[in-house]
Amino acid sequence: MTDVHFNKEKGSQLKLFTPGPVYVPERVLKEIAKPNDTHRSKAYSEMHQMAAEGLQKLLYTKNECLIFTSSATGIMEACVRNLVEEDEKGLFFSIGAFGDRWYEIGVSNGKTSIKEGVEWGKAITSEFSQEALSKDKYSVVFIQANETSTGVYNPIEELAPIIKDSGALLCVDATSSMAGVKLEVDKLGIDIALASVQKCFALPPGLAVCSVSTAAFEKAENVKNRGLYFDLITMKKSHVAKYQTPTTPPIPQIRGLTAQLDFILNEEGLEKRFERHERLAKQTRKWVHENDLEMFPEKNYESNTVSTIKNSLNLDIPKMVSMLLDKGYRIVNGYGQLANKTFRIGHMGEIQIKDIDKMLKVLADIIKELK
Amino acid sequence: MTDVHFNKEKGSQLKLFTPGPVYVPERVLKEIAKPNDTHRSKAYSEMHQMAAEGLQKLLYTKNECLIFTSSATGIMEACVRNLVEEDEKGLFFSIGAFGDRWYEIGVSNGKTSIKEGVEWGKAITSEFSQEALSKDKYSVVFIQANETSTGVYNPIEELAPIIKDSGALLCVDATSSMAGVKLEVDKLGIDIALASVQKCFALPPGLAVCSVSTAAFEKAENVKNRGLYFDLITMKKSHVAKYQTPTTPPIPQIRGLTAQLDFILNEEGLEKRFERHERLAKQTRKWVHENDLEMFPEKNYESNTVSTIKNSLNLDIPKMVSMLLDKGYRIVNGYGQLANKTFRIGHMGEIQIKDIDKMLKVLADIIKELK
């Protein structure tokens, strides 16, 4: 055993241009593989603290940053369970599959959940949000920064003040943009900003992180039936007292996270990293137009981390993906209802301009062959 | 960065004799560090299937075996949320800290939860369970196989038929014994048997697994407010249709799991592995008596994977642990209320007889010095 071929060419790493899990550099994989002490050791606490403080810098926040043994969906569930009381209403803005999922989480946890959505490919505008908020009194608002299915980035800097003005707590799912697109948590008053690490952090999956405001912790104290596993109050206690987690955390991924945060903050630098993601996206959009394709998102709301591209040439997408895979690159089909109508190119994490240029050139040749 | 010293001596791995996370062999760490494809790829599904089928062999069951991105506590919460209806009662047998935790999970999820406990160090007996079950009608019974805090192994082979006779569903937390102590799920009629992988599987933490019976799935279908993240029905759908998970799983740990299951089933062999754990425990208990110490658990119920030892010599436990750490070995203090009154030696996973003999010799010298 274990003869699972994860790489087409033996010994060489498949280059993932995916919206997550993404390509993980060798230096991070090496970090992951180091032996560890237990999660109750001093060495662990030191590492946990480094990760938490690094996240605060990344998110421009003084809020506590917590570490979850779950995917981002787990923190989405934590937001719902910790912040919405029985007699309150949660408002879920949805612009795609992950907005719909958050709403489903609300419903499946027995919370009074209202969904306000727009056509896939569009963003939530200031006007739309104002109108939605005026309809009722909502105690918590849930919204994606980057919607991974449609490749739309909501104008979160415009929306946050409007939502906060309504008096609601604000939860932002930044799963596929955190560490790739700037998100100033304190300036925007975001109560919970969450993400998983297999996207712009360029780590293997198995860990999710979030910042939590004082107001969110205070609210959680008074919400019943929060459960234990995702209870923010229990987590805060271990975090603040000992830089630990109440249950056993994914130590390899946390070790990788401290290494990546150090790289992001002290080697590449935050501004340079955000610029690189912007350039990766621009380069991809330029390629899209040069190859007679169209972007799926409405103009000015295209994501900097994942490009969702309309299949305007009516290509055989599974065949195209498979042909590209033979060349050592993976891109992916559209998500759910967008399959075959769109395809997606992820350009996040440690992907460099020269990497995307190289892949796009190969993909252009395949498209010519398929047309 | 990232200068977190996880090993006392640079370059050499700290040898963990802990009740988890445990010592992980180099060959497993290498597996963990391999690059991966996405969780929606064929390669992933093949790996997931291998893991699931391996778990079925390990647990002597035809039940579906699911993969959770959580610690074992997450599956404990899943059991509560999926199986106990609003108008029903759950019975939590507790013999230590993790039994108490399961009961707390019941309470914090708003379920009617009854705890029946015994003094720490003792096991649940047939008589005790019969009396507890006769008091009321319980729809689900929750019990530890191995209680990691007290080092007691419940007589689960005697208790399972009694519990099943009452008509209740049976959930068994085998966190610190699965893959080290035989658990015949189908023969015993266990509806959910759960564990995390940083114990007897000798993997890094970040993944938990369980078997789920048809009856448990059928029950879950009718339970309200199951949430989404730990919803067994959603998980079953992805698992059965595609050998996938609904949310992104910890691919490195799953890769490690397939490698370890292959090793356990095809290299060491199940019976030999269970025997080795039995011998490790016997060797440790022999050492305990030779060194004028006493076991904490009542006789005949001592765990084969973790020995909880009474501090009958009134030793300075933190000092003893620290002195042993200087020699490259970690054991741990007693859990919670048992700190300093007991200490614990983990002997599970890939620990060999010669390893424990070597460590126990060093520890004996330290004890002589401290007495």
Q: How many domains does chain B have?
A: 2
Considering B236, B266, B296, which residue would you say is the last residue of a domain?
B266
The angle that helices A317-326 and A353-370 make with each other, rounded to 10 degrees, is 130
CB A234 within 8 A of CB A227: no
Number of Cβ atoms within 10 Å of the Cβ of B368? 9
What is the mean predicted confidence (pLDDT) over B295-315?
97
* Structural domain includes residue B325: yes
Residue B12 has a pLDDT of 64
What is the mean predicted confidence (pLDDT) over A259-277?
98
Considering A266, A287, A306, which residue would you say is the last residue of a domain?
A266
Residue whose token pair is 């933490």: B205
Q: What DSSP letter does each residue of A186-218 carry, written as one string?
A: HHHT-SEEEEESSSTT---SS-EEEEE-HHHHH
Minimum CA–CA partner of A101 in chain B:
B228
Which residue out of A3, A4, A45, A85 would a mutagenesis test of the B interface target, given it has the greatest number of B Cβ atoms within 10 Å?
A4
Dihedral sign (CA B120, B122, B128, B129): positive
Residues B92 and B107 in one domain: yes
Considering B266, B284, B314, which residue would you say is the last residue of a domain?
B266
CATH, residue A315 = 3.90.1150.10
Residues A255 and A309 in one domain: no
Residue B100 has a pLDDT of 98
Residue B81 has a pLDDT of 98
Residues A262 and A283 in one domain: no
Residues A296 and A229 in one domain: no
Query: Per-residue confidence at B4, pLDDT binned at 50, 70, 90?
Result: very low
Residue whose token pair is 């860990």: A207
* Structural domain includes residue B1: no
Query: Per-residue confidence at A12, pLDDT binned at 50, 70, 90?
Result: low
A11 versus B181: which is more confidently predicted? B181
Return the C-alpha torsion angle B81, B83, B85, B86, nearest 10: -30
Query: Per-residue confidence at B5, pLDDT binned at 50, 70, 90?
Result: very low
Residues A240 and A358 in one domain: no
Residues B142 and B190 in one domain: yes
Residue B194 has a pLDDT of 98
What is the mean predicted confidence (pLDDT) over A305-323?
97
Residue A13 has a pLDDT of 80
Which residue out of B3, B5, B6, B75 would a mutagenesis test of the A interface target, given it has the greatest number of A Cβ atoms within 10 Å?
B6
CB B63 within 8 A of CB B213: yes
Q: Strand A332-333 and strand A342-346: pairing? A: antiparallel
Range of the domain at B313: 15-24+269-370
CB B69 within 8 A of CB A69: yes
Judge if the upstream peptide bond of residue A250 is cis by omega within 30 degrees of 0: no
Name the residue facing A7 among B35, B224, B227 (closest C-beta).
B35
Residue B339 has a pLDDT of 97
Residues A110 and A248 in one domain: yes
pLDDT in tens, B185-238: 999 999 999 999 999 999 999 999 999 999 999 999 999 999 999 999 999 999
* Structural domain includes residue A7: no
Residues A142 and A226 in one domain: yes
- pTM exceeding the 0.95 threshold for the entire prediction: yes
Q: Which of residues 349-368 of A touch B (CB under 8 A)?
A: none
Which residues have C-beta within 8 Å of that of residue B342, sequence separation ≥ 6? Answer: B296, B308, B309, B310, B311, B333, B334
Residue B1 has a pLDDT of 33
The vertex-A221 CA angle with A219 and A227, nearest 5°, equals 110
* Structural domain includes residue B227: yes
Residues A38 and A143 in one domain: yes
Q: Is A8 a residue whose pLDDT tops 50?
A: no
CB A92 within 8 A of CB A107: no
Residues A181 and A68 in one domain: yes
Name the residue facing B227 among A108, A206, A262 (closest C-beta).
A108
* Structural domain includes residue A248: yes
ipTM: 0.96
Residues B82 and B221 in one domain: yes
Q: Is A9 a residue whose pLDDT tops 90?
A: no
**DSSP state, B247?**
S
Residue whose token pair is 């993790």: B98
d(CA A23, CA B38): 9
d(CA B51, CA A234): 32
Partners of residue B253 in chain A, C-beta under 8 Å: 206, 250, 252
Q: End-to-end distance of chain A based on CA atoms, in angstroms? A: 41
Residue B13 has a pLDDT of 80
Does the beta-carbon distance from B24 to A35 stay under 8 Å? yes
**DSSP state, A264?**
I
HSE-CB for A44 with a 13 A CA cutoff? 22
Chain B contact for A14, CB < 8 A?
Answer: yes
Q: Strand A169-173 and strand A192-196: pairing? A: parallel
The vertex-A265 CA angle with A260 and A270, nearest 5°, equals 115
* Structural domain includes residue B245: yes
* Structural domain includes residue A38: yes
- The first and second tokens of residue A191, run together, are 């109560």
Number of Cβ atoms within 10 Å of the Cβ of A368? 9
d(CA A63, CA B198): 31
CATH, residue B123 = 3.40.640.10
In degrees and rounded to multiples of 5, residue A294 shows phi and psi of -130, 150
Residues A220 and A95 in one domain: yes
In degrees and rounded to multiples of 5, residue B262 shows phi and psi of -65, -45
* Structural domain includes residue B39: yes
CB pairs under 8 A between A and B: 233
Q: Is A10 a residue whose pLDDT tops 70?
A: no
